[in-house]
Amino acid sequence: MLYLIKINFKNSNDLKIVGNYYVVDSDKIVILAHGFTNDKSSNGRFDQLSEKLNTAGYDALAIDFSGSGESDDAPLTIENQIDDLKQAVDFVVAKGYSKIAFFGNSFGSVSCLMNYEDRINTMVLTGALTDKMHYEWDNYFSKAQMNSLEQNGYFFTEDKRPHQITCQTLKDYEIIDQEQLLTQVKCPILIIHGNNEEDLEELMLLERSRKGMKFLSKDSTLEIIEDGKHGFRSKWHEVIDLTIKWLDEYL
């Protein structure tokens, strides 16, 4: 029987982190880390994935990073998300799970990689950020927002749940050292990218992941979903199928 429980725990800054906990009484669990300015539902994608994971016999925990969804306010930074995810691992370990996997989407993939430890058996990363990326942020945010960033050091997005973007938030994309990031991860990793020729961001991310495979364990694999775009919204079922097949082998 499938149970969905709303849970919360505190990060090291005493901020409340909220999660959707999908339980089928498994001893194996997948912790889901969402992408930039998203939340634990990820526009329904994480809900669907979690239910499919339950059907396949895995429990799942999808968290809202601090500053996102229902969690307490904080700037969106890799440092904060690393801490949030570490506390999520401690939460599930306290629940008695013996096997733990990460599922990280886009910006959330970095906190997964940086949280590798012996308790993590495997990871699945989609649209993964595995190396530094330079973005022309003026193309993503308004002039008023960028002016606020320059004058105040931060601005808030205009989403239903406003997200606090700081100078550090944007800098985080450009300071990733791929070799340092990937060589410390010893578990098998499945990286999933799309190759839609119109999605230049995803193509750049794919290029970086291809370059980084030599730093990962020999069992790690790069899968390409034909014509997939960043986010895989129209091809999410393919992501789910690849994920469950991978977990059946490595979790």
CA dist 243 and 245 (Å) reads: 5
Q: What is the per-residue pLDDT across 165-219, written as a single tens digit (0 to 9) for each?
A: 999 999 999 999 999 999 999 999 999 999 999 999 999 999 999 999 999 999 9
Which phi-psi region, left, alpha or beta, contains residue 26 (left: φ > 0; alpha: ψ -120 to 50)?
Answer: beta
pLDDT average, residue stretch 12-16: 97
- In DSSP terms, 178 is beta-bridged to none
CATH class of 3-135+177-250: alpha beta
* Among 41, 83, 30, residue whose Cα is nearest residue 64: 41
Q: What is the per-residue pLDDT across 114-138, written as a single tens digit (0 to 9) for each?
A: 999 999 999 999 999 999 999 999 9
CA dist 183 and 214 (Å) reads: 9
Does the predicted model carry a pTM greater than 0.85? Answer: yes
- In DSSP terms, 60 is beta-bridged to 22, 30
